[in-house]
Structure 1
Amino acid sequence: MALITCKSKQESSPIQESAGENSNPIFNIAFGSCNKQDMENPFWNDILEMDPHLWIWGGDNIYADTDDMELLKSMYDKQNKVEGYALLKSKIPVIGTWDDHDYGLNDGGEEFTMKDGSQQQFLDFMGVAPESERRARKGIYAAHTYEIPAGKIKVLVLDTRYFRSRLEKDENPGRRYKPNAAADATILGEAQWEWLQNELQSSDANFNLIVTSIQFLSREHGFESWGNFPKEIERMNQLISNSKAKGIMILSGDRHISEFSITQLESMSYPLIDFTSSGLTHSYSNFEAEPNPYRVGSVTSVTSFGLIELNLETREAKLKIMGENGLVHQEIKQQY
């Protein structure tokens, strides 16, 4: 069996790939968001059928909305006992980020008073070792590197909650929030920005995936997104363009819809994709329309999960919005 190695500054563990003795250049990643622990998630068997090497939580992994840490723990425990999820965890690595509902405060950011306790509960849920440096660091951001004979995949998991400045309400009744242009307004906070810059600039991976719980490119809907902090968008665009890292793409969640958004940044030889996959147990089923000039294809407003097939030899990525029983709602391909 071919050996896949998972490396990060925090943890390192071997993963066995059931691909025989031949070197397989394909690395499959499944991901999703918006998972209510009290509702049936129909996708766990479907995800395993896709034979992924990795599962990534995109946020709202449970719905807690509480500052009671014992209650939060019980909700994580309930999710861990879901039969399909427990089976998935026994077979492949699980990493991810949080969003507001598992963080503990709806649309919450730096102002959440129990964020440190919530961080520890999240790290418990993710199986992070008690002695890990992530236990002492503020925020849940982390880097994970996976290596197969054909090359490396790096996953940079961002924390868009712990440091994020307060959102500004929009006076327009059709929009929830408006852009905050204050000089010190932030999503990531300075320490996380420095970390992200170092991770991208030093990366020798064939593909670099940035996981953000909120959408990066789709910004005109008036809900939470990077669009609420335009200076942070500019900083991310410059960082991605200047890093020269290979195969950068963004994975997002939060919206209870799935869609592909694509733009071309200056100094990049390939387009930047924001692949939104949401939600797993419930969706924006009455979705009709909303503006997104970066959208490619259409919005998938039924429950779904995301699947990414990375070919490390040909540098091609296949991105799929998946339904039950192998149904592909939408698919795009990108050469890097």
Structure 2
Amino acid sequence: MFNSRTAILTLYLAFAVTSANAVQLHAGPMVGTVSMRSATVWVQADGATQAWLKYRTPGGKWQHTDKMPLTAAHHYTGHLPVTALEPGQHYEYQVMFDNKPAAGTLSFNTQPLWQWRGDPPPFTALTGSCLYINETRYDRPGKPYGGEYGILKSMAAVKPDLTLWLGDNLYFREVDYGSPLDMPLRYQRDRALPALQALLQTGQHYAIWDDHDYGSDDSNKSFIFKGESLALFKDYWANPSYGMPDTPGVFTKVSFNDVDFFLLDDRYYRDDQTMQDGTDKAMFGKSQMGWLRNALLGSHATFKVIAAGGQMLNDENKWEGWQGYSEERQHFLVWLAEAHINGVLFLSGDRHQTELLKLPRADTYPLYELTCSPITSSSHNVTSAAKNPVLVEGTLVGERNYCTMSFSGPFKQRVMNVKSFNVDGKQLWEKRIELKELTTAK
């Protein structure tokens, strides 16, 4: 007989089945690009759903964004936009899947309107490269290449305002890059690493790629699935832009307070490293370099940080780097001096070692390059690197680590403090670079 107890049990079982099949959060949320009046929140579900955000200033009334379908075509990822915000405000937000909270309450800060009103606020950018997540059945036999994922907890504890991912942010294996049908599996697995989520939920995130998250090891512009790789990158990172309308790629500019970060694409237009050096050999390509020169000329930032996946100023590097494209590099460095572009510093990853290089130049200020690597990949033997004549003493690191760049001080007397930290968050070294050290009178 169908009685009340049966009815209750039936409803309970129906609810249990529905709950078991409900779409869940797969990875994130992660705040990407944020301006003074808008923000973009990246999220990934484990199935198709309608996603949207609730947001408010603390204690204020909740507001809602429009709903966005998360579909299999984009691996159930979405970039959820929040608009009509106010500068310099703290906002709380919740990600909603089909009218149910997918995660707890998180927050982001819009950029402040400081121009013409006072000094730029201090802020900290966290950076690093080479995030290898082990998967034994597809990894090479022997000792695991990745490890010490606890470094991600140490990175999140910094509470950076933004994180710059410098490439090799994941590692495609042989089972991945043979088909664009396989490549999404690597992104989907690695992005959901539990140890990564707290960092993704802290501050803003911007990224470029290098060979391993573009294609195979040392891959160049001939990679036949580079269009699909670029589409994947766009799905999984919420940068302000991706290349230019007539020049595809991942390069972009990120402006944060008084600092411009010029994030370059060192793969999409890259000739192979082994090609004979000469006028036609390029790492970034003519169109991208033209964009960079114009972007630098148009920048009013105090510090101008030029970032790429591989090293740019290290002539002692025996592996991939801009030193193997000498004419393209020399043409740019000569132009940089002649154009009197002040405040420039280079930033790179890839090398599985961290170091700060200082390249002297005649009649102008020296060029620094901070290379920060690896996060969870294995490190390299750094014995030979210690002999580099342009190495800043005490900055060579041959273990897993991450770096921070903190900017502070009055507008025309800004200071950048660069630091390196080990997996436990212990500071390994610190270097103070004053804006006046990167300035040449025109």
TM-score, normalised with respect to structure 2? 0.65
- What is the CA RMSD across the aligned residues, in angstroms? 2.9
Instruction: Kindly state the Cα deviation for residue 36 of structure 1 after the two structures are TM-superposed.
Output: 0.8
Cα 1:182–1:137, aligned 2, differ >3 Å: closer, same or farther?
Answer: closer
Amino acid at match of 2:217: N
Take 1:32 and 1:237, find their aligned partners in 2: how far apart are those partners?
25
C-alpha contact 2:163 2:206 (8 A) present in aligned 1:
yes
Aligned pairs for 1:54-69 within 5 A: 54-65=162-173, 66-69=177-180
Structure 2 contact 242–249 (Cα < 8 Å) conserved: no
Mark the structure with the bigger radius of gyration.
Answer: 2
How far residue 266 of structure 1 moved from its aligned partner, in angstroms, is: 4.1
Alignment match, 2:96: none
Counterpart selection for 1:118 from 219, 229, 232: 229
By how many angstroms is 1:321 displaced?
1.3
Q: Which residue of 211, 219, 222 maps to 2:315?
A: 219
Q: Which residue of 2 aligns with 1:228?
A: 324
- The answer on whether the counterparts of 2:214 and 2:226 sit within 8 Å (CA) in structure 1 is yes
Cα deviation, 1:276-305, whole Å, max 9, x if unaligned, reads: 000001233543223422111242100001
Task: For 1:274 and 1:229, locate their aligned partners in 2 and report how far apart those are by CA, in whole Å.
Answer: 17
Which whole-Å CA distance do the structure 1 matches of 2:295 and 2:384 have between them?
37
- Report which stretch shifted further, 248-257 or 84-93: 84-93
Structure 1 residue 42, shift from structure 2 partner? 2.2
The separation in 1 between residues aligned to 2:243 and 2:399, in whole angstroms, is: 39
Q: Which has the higher contact order (CA 8 A, sep 6+)?
A: 1
Alignment counterpart, residue 303 of structure 1, candidates 400, 407, 425: 400
Aligned AA (1:223): W
Distance 1:205 1:18 in 2: 15
How far did 1:213 drift? 0.9
Partner amino acid for 1:218? N
Alignment-mate amino acid for residue 308 of structure 1: M
Instruction: Tell me the residue number matched to 2:306.
Output: 210
1:141 corresponds to: 251
Change (3 A) 1:300 1:111: same
Say if 1:306 and 1:320, in contact at 8 Å, map to a contact too. yes
Task: Give the TM-score normalised by structure 1.
Answer: 0.84
| Structure 1 residues 124 and 18, CA gap change in structure 2 (3 angstroms) | closer
Matches within 5 A, 1:3-152: 6=35, 15-16=108-109, 25-38=121-134, 39-40=146-147, 41-65=149-173, 66-127=177-238, 137-147=247-257, 152=258
- Paired amino acid for 1:156: F
Report the equivalent of 1:278: 373
C-alpha distance in structure 2 between counterparts of 1:235 and 1:18, whole Å: 35
Residue 358 (structure 2) aligns with: 262
Quote the Cα distance in structure 2 between the aligned partners of 1:67 and 1:93: 32
Distance 1:281 1:202, change over 3 A: same
Identify if the C-alpha distance between structure 1 residues 47 and 134 changes in structure 2 by more than 3 Å, giving closer, same or farther: farther
C-alpha separation in 2, matches of 1:90 and 1:153 = 23
Decide whether the 8 Å contact of 2:128 with 2:349 is kept in 1: yes
The DSSP-based 3-state class of the residue aligned with 1:69 is coil
Q: Structure 1 residues 64 and 120, CA, compared in 2 at 3 Å: closer, same or farther? A: same
Distance in structure 2 (CA, Å) of the matches to 1:334 and 1:181: 34
Once residues 67 and 271 of structure 1 are traced to their aligned partners in structure 2, the CA distance between those partners, rounded to angstroms, is: 43
Unaligned runs of 5+ in 1: 170-179
Q: Deviations over 1:52-102 (max 9, x none)?
A: 111011110001041322322121122221234322222311112111111
Shift of 1:134: 5.8
Q: Is the 8 A contact 2:406 2:418 kept in 1?
A: yes
Candidates 419, 425, 435, aligned match of 1:320: 419
Q: Which runs of 5+ in 2 are unaligned?
A: 1-32, 41-80, 88-107, 113-117, 135-145, 436-442
Structure 1 counterpart of 2:199, one-letter code: L
Describe the shift of the 1:73–1:312 C-alpha distance in structure 2 as closer, same or farther (beyond 3 A). Answer: farther
Q: Is the 8 A contact 1:123 1:135 kept in 2?
A: no
Aligned pairs for 1:236-251 (under 5 A) are 236-251=332-347
Length, aligned pairs only: 313
Shift of residue 17, structure 1, vs aligned partner: 7.2
